[in-house]
Amino acid sequence: MSKIFMNTSLESQKYIDGELIDDKSLMAEYDGDILNLDIKDNDDETFTTLNNEELLGLFSAPNNNKTIDERLNDSFPTIKQIKSSKSSKSSKSSKSSKPTRRKKDNEKQKQKKAKKSTRKNNSSKNKNKKKK
């Protein structure tokens, strides 16, 4: 019987303007009997060991009741599905929801414009009165 050995590692680092903002890595070593995993997520580091029985339990556990086709369609909808979901959302009655920051900002801008136009109208009326 041949012995299986696997050693693999993955590393991901994201930078913005030269500053490290995300640092993740995975190191896995499997000797045919034991899998050693070292997982790093920024400052959090986890080390775990799994034997063959535990590995088989992970792979044989049902992860979802949906078929692969249903899961793929959910994850990667077609253009028809996207359009139909948008139209069905717009046809539903809309409940009043908490305004977002953008909506609040837009409302503030509208109020400012309304005040400015009111001021202009009042000042032009006052000028017309003075001329008479």
**pLDDT for position 97:** 54
Q: Which residue has the tokens 């088989």?
A: 56
Is residue 12 a part of any domain in this protein? yes
| Pairing relationship of beta strands 19-30 and 44-51 according to DSSP bridges | unpaired
Distances (CA, A) of 93 to 84, 88, 90, 96: 16, 10, 8, 10
Is residue 109 a part of any domain in this protein? no
Q: 75 or 125: whose pLDDT is higher?
A: 75
Q: What is the total count of domains within the chain?
A: 1
Is residue 57 a part of any domain in this protein? yes
Structure tokens at 5: 């050995």
Res. 81: pLDDT tops 90: no
28 in Cβ contact with 48 (< 8 Å): no
Is residue 74 a part of any domain in this protein? no
65 in Cβ contact with 74 (< 8 Å): no
